[in-house]
Structure 1
């Protein structure tokens, strides 16, 4: 089987849960992005690209539910995993807080264009979305946006940049993703993986 795991904050938990489930995956060595193990392969990719790899042919991946939702990738999600828990929230400068319903015409900076659009659309509020790739919390600070929608874990980054969390858009956690064709062609292997991980999760709770 081929696995794709995300660089960054979810990598440690991903490797850990797979190892506990009996898959001796190793993080690829320096400058290597693919590593073989016991006849399987592990790829390391940008977190935002993991669902795309799984949708288009890699058998199994681990990704945040925020990325799966944003990418709208056609993948099978058999399990929610017990790490990577945080939330996607709307935040604004402390001195200029208004309710989301009052944000008509506001400019919102985010990496999550689709989720943000849906969030405001449900409220019947029209906002201008400014898509950024990183350091979203700088946008209100330099005056190019009125608010942001971004991942919040402890809230420390927000506080350090003079922002406050106004409302949660969605809860986020790591998820196991399976390619829809692999789900059929490698049914037994995939099933074994899912049940092994499920057992790990149940034993830890």
Structure 2
């Protein structure tokens, strides 16, 4: 029997923010269970042990989950399909739709905005999704000048930074509270299990994780 201490540690990346609460029970059913230190709100660590000696968690920003997995620093993780589509890393494989974290990516503008802009060939758009935003507007023959923001998108039009925003929408209440209305739906989003392609080919434990998450997703779908 191989010595557990000589087995390389797998790193599983999870996102801070909106997906995490829904992801934890899904992870637990697939055998990825953080230890008690993970739930200590005073703990500022980004790395956590799990109930498996050969598996650790890292908790990082959603965009960084994709980067860590794509470059092999983490072998697997959970992230929204918005992040996958924004980066389109060749080494990233998303084999399981976890059907959690549902929302969508949308274009929004101030309610009652000047309709003359509807035929414009150039727009300034505030977003943290410049690639998805440019592609969306290019398909409509519009050049989008993207102003990159990591948050507070909704106040950009009121402050004159951009005429439109592209951001995640769940209930739409945040848009309404900031005097914005949704004008186009770009992408429906759910959380996905992602793995590094090379790790999937070389480490059977990564394949076992994929099968565990796939079985849980299938069971929930059938329920």
TM-score, normalised by the number of residues in structure 1: 0.93
Match of residue 174 from structure 2: 157
**Stretch of structure 1 that moved more, 66-75 or 158-167:** 66-75
What are structure 2's unaligned runs of at least 5 residues? 1-9
| Uncovered stretches (5+) of structure 1, i.e. residues with no partner | none
Which residue number in structure 2 is paired with residue 32 of structure 1?
A: 45
Among candidates 4, 8, 18, match of residue 9 of structure 1: 18
Matches within 5 A, 1:45-64: 45-57=60-72, 58-64=74-80
Retained in 1: the 8 A contact 2:127–2:146? yes
2:117 and 2:211 mapped to 1: Cα distance? 42
Shift of 1:180: 1.3
Q: Which moved more, 1:43-52 or 1:95-104?
A: 95-104
Aligned to 2:5: none
Tell me which residue corresponds to 1:185. 202
The total of aligned residue pairs comes to 204
1:26-175 → structure 2 map (5 Å cutoff): 26=35, 27=38, 29=40, 30-37=43-50, 38-39=52-53, 40-57=55-72, 58-74=74-90, 75-96=92-113, 98=115, 102-175=119-192
Partner of 1:197 in structure 2? 213
User: Do 1:109 and 1:145's aligned partners in 2 also have CA atoms closer than 8 Å?
Assistant: yes
C-alpha displacement of 1:14 = 2.0
Contact 1:18–1:24 under 8 Å retained in 2:
yes
Question: Shift of the alpha carbon at 1:98?
Answer: 4.3
Distance 1:49 1:105 in 2: 31
User: Residue 141 and residue 15 in structure 1: after superposition, are their counterparts in 2 closer, same or farther (change >3 A)?
Assistant: same
Please state how far the C-alpha of 1:116 moved relative to its aligned partner: 0.4
**Deviation of the 1:92 alpha carbon:** 0.6
Distance 2:81 2:20 in 1: 15
Alpha-carbon deviation of 1:100? 8.6
Query: Aligned-pair distance for 1:194?
Result: 1.6
TM superposition shift of 1:168: 0.4
Higher Rg = 2
Q: Distance in 1 between matches of 2:118 and 2:145?
A: 14
CA contact (8 A) 1:5 1:61 kept: yes
Distance 1:135 1:174 in 2: 22
Which stretch of structure 1 is more off in the superposition, 91-100 or 56-65? 91-100
